[in-house]
Amino acid sequence: LCRMAMSLVAPRQPRPPPAASWLLAAWLASRLGGAGARGMRSMEPARQCFNGELAHRLCCLGHKFDDHMKECWPPALLEQELDPYVACCGWVPDVLVYAPPKTATKYLLESVRNSWLRVAQSHWHSMANYEFERMKPPCYVITVARNPYLRHVSQYFYFAVQNEKSLAHLELRHGDAILSRMMWTGRWATEKDFSNAPFNFLRADFKKANLAHSTDFAVNWFRRFGDVVGVDLFDAGKRRPHSKYIMINASAAKCKCNVLVLLYEHLRHWGMAMGRFLPSVHLQTKVKVNTAAEFFYNGLYKKFVARLRYTSNETEAMCESDTMFLSFYTGRCVKRDGKWEILPGTRQALPTMEEMRRHGLVVRR
């Protein structure tokens, strides 16, 4: 019924449907409820129309031919669907949730979906760039910063044990190299192996993953975010050094989409920020946020964090990641006796010059 209604107002050609088409379909889906409503908000294509990920991206971005010079939208394909673009490419998002892993992106994703806005989510720059290229103004991008002191531990525990199905999906979607970049080491075959591992074994495996992640995936994540979206978060932070979040207006910044930068450590301020950024989105209080409490390793995670002391090379690598150059984390990296020390939390009042000389500190301002 939804597809029949859409066909009355949507032109039969491979391009995103007009707003009126989507609004009519959304109204019908809300009348139907259940699976129909959930389906209307999905960014995933209904079926595989193209030969490979690269062909999918090229064709859905409007190219006439794919990477093998095969026609993207032959008449036979257009005749198979009432709306071939949506069927083959998924809806064009209004909102992109684009942030590092373990920053409550699932929470944001579900909240935006419940507002009937079309939303896509990605941790990876290549996938985010694809979705961003498809978006049309007015559009919205939401990202989240989190101090690596705990974000890296949270990510390591989350990806420590992966089944074959999950690994196959990740390899297919992102390639073989992505697994090591996600802090998955392959050391733990089962939840039992992981849960029963001695602390020193876990610590050694985490250190290996943390150093690799800090010097690769995390080292310039927000700079690459800026390249994709067309904004400078570091400059924006300097303009609002004590803010709990940052909003960037597309017109003022001369970029395509409005941008909201949230701070994981200030989750309680998200509702106020979202009320100013996207008033139609009401942050849900019953949506799961993928916290450690939801997983088998909850108790182990708490014990690990309580005993965790970072080594000097880990600390140096984490302090060199561009997350720690955001204004939110000013003063969280301290150099004591020639060695960097990373502190949890967010920006604190900086010590005076006299205090720094007395204690032999160098604070990254």
Task: Report pLDDT digits (tens) over 142-172.
Answer: 999 999 999 999 999 999 998 877 777 666 6
Confidence at residue 84, expressed as pLDDT on a 0 to 100 scale = 84
**Measured distance CA(12)–CA(78) in Å, rounded:** 8
Which one is predicted more confidently, 26 or 291? 291
Which one is predicted more confidently, 236 or 242? 236
**Measured distance CA(108)–CA(288) in Å, rounded:** 10
Give the pLDDT band (50/70/90) at residue 249: very high
Which one is predicted more confidently, 87 or 264? 264
Weakest-pLDDT range from 6-10, 37-41, 259-263, 303-307: 6-10
Instruction: Report the mean per-residue pLDDT for the chain.
Output: 82
Query: Does the pLDDT of residue 12 top 60, yes or no?
Result: no
Q: What percent of the chain has pLDDT over 70?
A: 77
Q: What percent of the chain has pLDDT over 90?
A: 56
Residue 140 near residue 257, CB atoms below 8 Å: yes
Q: What is the pLDDT of residues 26-73, one digit of tens each?
A: 333 333 333 333 344 456 777 788 888 788 888 998 889 988 899 998
- Structure tokens of 50? 């193209």
Q: Which residues, at least 6 apart from 319, have a Cβ–Cβ distance to it below 8 Å? A: 333, 340, 342, 364
Weakest-pLDDT range from 174-178, 193-197, 302-306, 336-340: 174-178
- 8-state DSSP, 33: -
Q: What angle do CA 266, 267, 272 make, to 5 degrees?
A: 95
Confidence at residue 55, expressed as pLDDT on a 0 to 100 scale = 86
> Which stretches of 33-101 are DSSP H helices?
34-40, 53-60, 75-78, 84-89
Query: Does the pLDDT of residue 215 top 70, yes or no?
Result: yes
**Measured distance CA(129)–CA(135) in Å, rounded:** 10
Give the pLDDT band (50/70/90) at residue 116: confident
pTM for this prediction: 0.81
> DSSP letter string over 231-276?
--HHHHHHHSTT-SSEEE-HHHHT-SSEEEEEEGGGGGGHHHHHHH
Give the pLDDT band (50/70/90) at residue 338: confident
